[in-house]
Copies of this chain bind each other. A is one copy, B any other.
Amino acid sequence: MIQELRDNYGKFFEEKLLEEINSVGTFKEVSAGIELIKPGSYIKSMPLIINGAIKILREDQDGDELLLYFLERGDTCAMTLSCCLGHQKSEIKAIAETDAKLVMIPIEKMEEWTAKYKSWRNFVFDSYHHRLIEAFETIDSIAFMNMDDRLLKYLKDKIKINKNNIINNTHQQIAYDLHTSRVVISRLLKKLENEGNVKLHRNSIEVIHI
C-alpha cells in the first residue's frame, strides 16, 4: 500500500505522513456501482482515492437525486471531512462510478494530523476549495444552462472520468443523474445523433464528436 500512496499522494504529503497513513489506513477495493455513503448515515472514516472514480449525488426527501460531481485520484470527500469534524450526518450519497481503490483513514487521525502536518492542512483546505468550486459549477449548470447543454457537459464529464468515449448507461440512469425524465434524455440524445455527434446503442452511447 505504501507504494500506491507514494505514487498517488507523494506530491502532496511528506514521507513521514505517508508512513503514518500507511500504518493506520486500511486498503479498500470497491466495484463500480457499490454505494459508499448513504445520506443520513454517520461516517467513521475518510477515503483517499488511489484510483477509479466516485460519483457524489444529492438526494431530496422524495428520493429525487442529482449528480453533484465526481471524485478522482488525489481527491477526498469534503463532505466526509466536515461530517467527521462536526460529527454530523452525511448530506450526500456516494457511489463508485468505476472500480476503485481507496485508503480509509480513521477520523481520529484527522484532527491530529491537522495540527501536526502542514501538508495535511493544505490538502484538507484544497479539498474544501475544490469541492466548493465544483458545487458552484454544478449550480451554474442547473441555474444558467438548458438541459441540452447540461447533457453535453454530462457526456463530456463521463468520457473524462471513465477514459472511454463509450458511455455504458441507459437513458433512465442519465435522467436520474440530471434529475429529469427518461423521455427528455431520449429526445435530446436522438437530436445529438441526428446531428452526428453520438451513436446510440442499447445500454450505451458512443460519443463521436464532443
Q: Which residues of A line the B interface, CB within 8 A?
A: 58, 60, 62, 64, 66, 68, 78-79, 81-82, 85-86, 88, 91-92, 114-115, 118, 121-122, 124-126, 128-129, 131-133, 135-136, 138-140, 142-144, 179
Contacts and interface: CB of A to CB of B under 8 A. Distances in A.
Nearest to A85: B125
B66 A132 contact: no
A143 B115 CA distance: 38
Contact of A78 (B62, B128, B138): B128
Copy tally for this chain in the complex stands at 2
A122 to B, nearest CB: 8
Contacts of A118: 115
Contacts of A85: 122, 125-126, 129
A82 to B, nearest CB: 4
15 contacts: A58-B136, A60-B143, A60-B144, A62-B144, A64-B144, A85-B122, A88-B129, A115-B115, A115-B118, A121-B121, A132-B135, A135-B136, A138-B139, A139-B139, A142-B142
B139 A91 contact: no
Contacts of A82: 125, 128-129, 132-133
Nearest to A131: B132
A143 B78 contact: no
Given A114-B121, A125-B82, A133-B91, A142 B144 contact: no
A129 B89 CA distance: 12
Contact of A86 (B66, B114, B129, B136): B129
